[in-house]
Amino acid sequence: MSKLILVRHGQSEWNLANRFTGWWDVDLTEKGETEARQAGELMLAKGVLPTLAFTSVQKRAIKTLNLALEACGRLWIPVTRDWHLNERHYGGLTGLNKQETRDKHGDEQVHIWRRSFDIPPPELEQGSEFDLSDDPRYAGIDVPRTESLKLTIERVLPYWEEAILPQLGKGETVIISAHGNSLRALVKHLSNISDDEITGLEIPTGQPIIYEFDGTQVTGERYYLKDS
Protein backbone atom coordinates (compact mmCIF):
# COMPACT_ATOMS: atom_id res chain seq x y z
CA MET A 1 0.00 0.00 0.00
CA SER A 2 1.15 3.52 -0.76
CA LYS A 3 -0.24 6.96 -0.06
CA LEU A 4 -0.70 10.14 -2.07
CA ILE A 5 -0.72 13.44 -0.15
CA LEU A 6 -2.21 16.47 -1.91
CA VAL A 7 -1.55 19.90 -0.41
CA ARG A 8 -2.75 23.20 -1.81
CA HIS A 9 -0.26 25.96 -1.07
CA GLY A 10 -0.86 28.15 1.96
CA GLN A 11 -2.52 31.53 1.66
CA SER A 12 -0.72 33.71 -0.90
CA GLU A 13 -0.41 37.49 -1.05
CA TRP A 14 -2.94 37.62 -3.88
CA ASN A 15 -5.32 35.22 -2.13
CA LEU A 16 -5.36 37.81 0.65
CA ALA A 17 -5.74 40.71 -1.81
CA ASN A 18 -8.57 38.89 -3.66
CA ARG A 19 -6.76 39.06 -7.01
CA PHE A 20 -6.71 36.53 -9.86
CA THR A 21 -3.26 34.93 -9.71
CA GLY A 22 -2.92 32.02 -12.12
CA TRP A 23 0.62 31.66 -13.42
CA TRP A 24 1.86 34.91 -11.87
CA ASP A 25 4.44 34.20 -9.18
CA VAL A 26 3.41 35.56 -5.79
CA ASP A 27 4.69 34.75 -2.33
CA LEU A 28 3.03 33.28 0.72
CA THR A 29 1.63 35.47 3.47
CA GLU A 30 2.68 34.91 7.07
CA LYS A 31 -0.57 32.98 7.50
CA GLY A 32 0.30 30.89 4.42
CA GLU A 33 3.68 29.99 5.90
CA THR A 34 1.98 28.94 9.13
CA GLU A 35 -0.51 26.78 7.19
CA ALA A 36 2.39 25.06 5.42
CA ARG A 37 4.24 24.31 8.66
CA GLN A 38 1.05 23.01 10.26
CA ALA A 39 0.54 20.64 7.32
CA GLY A 40 4.00 19.21 7.95
CA GLU A 41 3.42 18.96 11.69
CA LEU A 42 0.19 17.08 11.03
CA MET A 43 1.97 14.63 8.71
CA LEU A 44 4.56 14.02 11.42
CA ALA A 45 1.92 13.55 14.12
CA LYS A 46 -0.05 11.10 11.95
CA GLY A 47 3.04 9.23 10.79
CA VAL A 48 2.33 9.92 7.12
CA LEU A 49 5.82 10.76 5.91
CA PRO A 50 6.50 11.37 2.20
CA THR A 51 9.37 9.68 0.41
CA LEU A 52 9.04 11.64 -2.87
CA ALA A 53 7.75 15.13 -3.64
CA PHE A 54 6.36 16.92 -6.68
CA THR A 55 5.47 20.58 -7.02
CA SER A 56 4.97 23.31 -9.59
CA VAL A 57 7.53 25.96 -10.55
CA GLN A 58 5.64 28.65 -8.63
CA LYS A 59 7.13 29.89 -5.38
CA ARG A 60 3.94 29.67 -3.30
CA ALA A 61 3.75 25.92 -3.91
CA ILE A 62 7.53 25.38 -3.62
CA LYS A 63 7.74 27.27 -0.32
CA THR A 64 4.70 25.43 1.03
CA LEU A 65 6.39 22.14 0.21
CA ASN A 66 9.70 23.17 1.77
CA LEU A 67 8.09 24.42 4.99
CA ALA A 68 5.92 21.30 5.30
CA LEU A 69 8.85 18.96 4.65
CA GLU A 70 11.00 20.81 7.17
CA ALA A 71 8.25 20.51 9.78
CA CYS A 72 8.02 16.73 9.33
CA GLY A 73 11.79 16.17 9.03
CA ARG A 74 11.72 15.30 5.33
CA LEU A 75 13.63 18.10 3.62
CA TRP A 76 16.05 15.49 2.32
CA ILE A 77 13.61 13.62 0.05
CA PRO A 78 13.86 14.00 -3.77
CA VAL A 79 11.75 16.88 -5.17
CA THR A 80 10.63 17.34 -8.78
CA ARG A 81 9.38 20.76 -9.89
CA ASP A 82 7.38 20.87 -13.10
CA TRP A 83 5.23 23.50 -14.80
CA HIS A 84 2.54 20.94 -15.61
CA LEU A 85 1.47 21.26 -11.96
CA ASN A 86 1.11 25.06 -12.18
CA GLU A 87 -2.14 26.78 -11.34
CA ARG A 88 -4.67 27.33 -14.10
CA HIS A 89 -3.74 30.34 -16.27
CA TYR A 90 -6.33 33.07 -15.74
CA GLY A 91 -5.47 34.91 -18.94
CA GLY A 92 -6.58 38.53 -19.10
CA LEU A 93 -8.01 38.33 -15.57
CA THR A 94 -4.49 37.93 -14.11
CA GLY A 95 -3.81 40.61 -11.51
CA LEU A 96 -7.38 41.95 -11.41
CA ASN A 97 -9.28 42.31 -8.16
CA LYS A 98 -12.12 39.77 -8.17
CA GLN A 99 -14.77 42.11 -6.78
CA GLU A 100 -13.82 44.94 -9.16
CA THR A 101 -14.04 42.44 -12.03
CA ARG A 102 -17.55 41.45 -10.88
CA ASP A 103 -18.55 45.11 -10.72
CA LYS A 104 -17.28 45.67 -14.27
CA HIS A 105 -18.44 42.49 -16.03
CA GLY A 106 -21.24 41.28 -13.76
CA ASP A 107 -21.44 38.35 -11.34
CA GLU A 108 -22.75 35.93 -13.96
CA GLN A 109 -19.92 36.49 -16.43
CA VAL A 110 -17.22 36.26 -13.77
CA HIS A 111 -18.83 33.09 -12.40
CA ILE A 112 -18.66 31.58 -15.90
CA TRP A 113 -14.97 32.47 -16.24
CA ARG A 114 -14.14 31.14 -12.78
CA ARG A 115 -16.36 28.10 -12.49
CA SER A 116 -17.35 26.81 -15.92
CA PHE A 117 -15.59 23.62 -16.96
CA ASP A 118 -14.57 24.52 -20.49
CA ILE A 119 -14.97 28.30 -20.99
CA PRO A 120 -11.65 30.11 -20.47
CA PRO A 121 -11.26 33.77 -19.48
CA PRO A 122 -10.19 36.31 -22.15
CA GLU A 123 -6.63 35.77 -23.39
CA LEU A 124 -3.74 37.65 -21.81
CA GLU A 125 -2.45 40.26 -24.24
CA GLN A 126 1.05 39.70 -25.57
CA GLY A 127 3.45 42.12 -23.91
CA SER A 128 1.21 42.55 -20.86
CA GLU A 129 2.99 43.15 -17.56
CA PHE A 130 1.90 39.61 -16.66
CA ASP A 131 3.22 38.01 -19.87
CA LEU A 132 5.58 35.18 -18.88
CA SER A 133 6.74 34.15 -22.36
CA ASP A 134 10.26 35.43 -21.61
CA ASP A 135 10.48 33.93 -18.10
CA PRO A 136 13.50 31.57 -18.03
CA ARG A 137 11.61 28.86 -16.16
CA TYR A 138 9.37 28.50 -19.23
CA ALA A 139 12.11 28.46 -21.84
CA GLY A 140 11.02 26.27 -24.75
CA ILE A 141 7.43 26.09 -23.49
CA ASP A 142 4.44 27.52 -25.34
CA VAL A 143 3.11 29.52 -22.40
CA PRO A 144 -0.72 29.57 -22.50
CA ARG A 145 -2.60 32.85 -22.93
CA THR A 146 -5.55 31.53 -20.92
CA GLU A 147 -6.91 28.21 -19.63
CA SER A 148 -10.22 26.68 -18.67
CA LEU A 149 -10.33 23.93 -16.06
CA LYS A 150 -10.66 21.48 -18.96
CA LEU A 151 -7.40 22.73 -20.50
CA THR A 152 -5.70 22.58 -17.10
CA ILE A 153 -6.75 18.94 -16.74
CA GLU A 154 -5.39 18.20 -20.22
CA ARG A 155 -1.87 19.17 -19.12
CA VAL A 156 -2.00 17.84 -15.55
CA LEU A 157 -3.27 14.30 -16.20
CA PRO A 158 -0.66 13.18 -18.76
CA TYR A 159 2.06 14.34 -16.35
CA TRP A 160 0.34 12.46 -13.53
CA GLU A 161 0.18 9.27 -15.59
CA GLU A 162 3.77 9.50 -16.80
CA ALA A 163 5.71 10.85 -13.82
CA ILE A 164 3.78 10.42 -10.58
CA LEU A 165 1.52 7.36 -10.76
CA PRO A 166 4.41 4.93 -11.49
CA GLN A 167 6.08 6.05 -8.24
CA LEU A 168 2.96 5.15 -6.28
CA GLY A 169 3.04 1.79 -8.03
CA LYS A 170 6.50 1.27 -6.54
CA GLY A 171 5.17 1.84 -3.02
CA GLU A 172 6.39 5.40 -2.55
CA THR A 173 4.53 7.88 -0.33
CA VAL A 174 4.16 10.87 -2.65
CA ILE A 175 3.35 14.46 -1.72
CA ILE A 176 2.16 16.94 -4.35
CA SER A 177 2.25 20.58 -3.33
CA ALA A 178 0.32 22.50 -5.95
CA HIS A 179 -2.67 24.76 -6.58
CA GLY A 180 -6.45 24.87 -6.35
CA ASN A 181 -7.09 24.00 -9.98
CA SER A 182 -4.20 21.62 -10.68
CA LEU A 183 -5.22 19.66 -7.59
CA ARG A 184 -8.88 19.89 -8.62
CA ALA A 185 -7.82 18.19 -11.86
CA LEU A 186 -6.30 15.29 -9.93
CA VAL A 187 -9.22 14.95 -7.51
CA LYS A 188 -11.66 14.91 -10.44
CA HIS A 189 -9.74 12.04 -12.00
CA LEU A 190 -9.05 10.03 -8.85
CA SER A 191 -12.54 10.39 -7.37
CA ASN A 192 -14.36 10.16 -10.71
CA ILE A 193 -16.17 13.48 -10.26
CA SER A 194 -18.34 14.77 -13.11
CA ASP A 195 -17.55 17.88 -15.17
CA ASP A 196 -20.46 19.72 -13.58
CA GLU A 197 -19.66 18.76 -9.99
CA ILE A 198 -15.93 19.45 -10.08
CA THR A 199 -16.40 23.18 -10.68
CA GLY A 200 -17.99 23.50 -7.23
CA LEU A 201 -15.29 21.59 -5.36
CA GLU A 202 -13.11 23.75 -3.12
CA ILE A 203 -9.60 22.66 -2.18
CA PRO A 204 -8.68 24.36 1.13
CA THR A 205 -5.22 25.83 1.61
CA GLY A 206 -2.72 23.90 3.70
CA GLN A 207 -4.96 20.87 4.43
CA PRO A 208 -3.40 17.53 3.39
CA ILE A 209 -5.77 15.30 1.42
CA ILE A 210 -4.95 11.58 1.37
CA TYR A 211 -5.56 8.88 -1.24
CA GLU A 212 -4.47 5.32 -0.54
CA PHE A 213 -3.22 3.10 -3.37
CA ASP A 214 -2.74 -0.58 -3.96
CA GLY A 215 -0.22 -0.56 -6.77
CA THR A 216 -1.54 2.04 -9.21
CA GLN A 217 -5.17 1.66 -8.15
CA VAL A 218 -6.94 3.95 -5.69
CA THR A 219 -8.49 2.10 -2.76
CA GLY A 220 -11.38 3.85 -1.08
CA GLU A 221 -12.21 7.53 -1.08
CA ARG A 222 -10.06 10.53 -0.30
CA TYR A 223 -9.99 11.95 3.21
CA TYR A 224 -8.45 14.87 5.07
CA LEU A 225 -5.47 13.83 7.15
CA LYS A 226 -6.79 15.84 10.10
CA ASP A 227 -9.86 13.56 10.16
CA SER A 228 -7.93 10.28 10.21
Average pLDDT over residues 120-128: 95
Encoded amino acid at 162, one letter: E
Catalogue the active-site residues. Answer: 9, 87
pTM: 0.96
Report pLDDT digits (tens) over 82-106: 999 999 999 999 999 999 899 888 9
Report pLDDT digits (tens) over 101-120: 998 889 999 888 988 899 99
Contacts of 165 (CB under 8 A, 6+ apart): 216
Report the distance separating Cα 39 and Cα 74, nearest Å.
13
Of residues 75, 86, 33, the one with CA closest to residue 50 = 75
Report the distance separating Cα 26 and Cα 10, nearest Å.
12
Report pLDDT digits (tens) over 139-171: 999 999 999 999 999 999 999 999 999 999 999
Pairing of strands 209-214, 217-224: antiparallel
Encoded amino acid at 59, one letter: K
State the chain's maximal CA–CA distance in angstroms: 51
Report the distance separating Cα 2 and Cα 115, nearest Å.
32
For residues 216 and 12, is the Cβ–Cβ distance under 8 A? no
Task: Identify the three-state secondary structure at position 30.
Answer: helix
Average pLDDT over residues 68-84: 98
What is the model's pLDDT at position 213? 98
**Higher local confidence (pLDDT), 1 or 131:** 131
What is the model's pLDDT at position 114? 84
φ and ψ of 21, to 5 deg: -110, -60
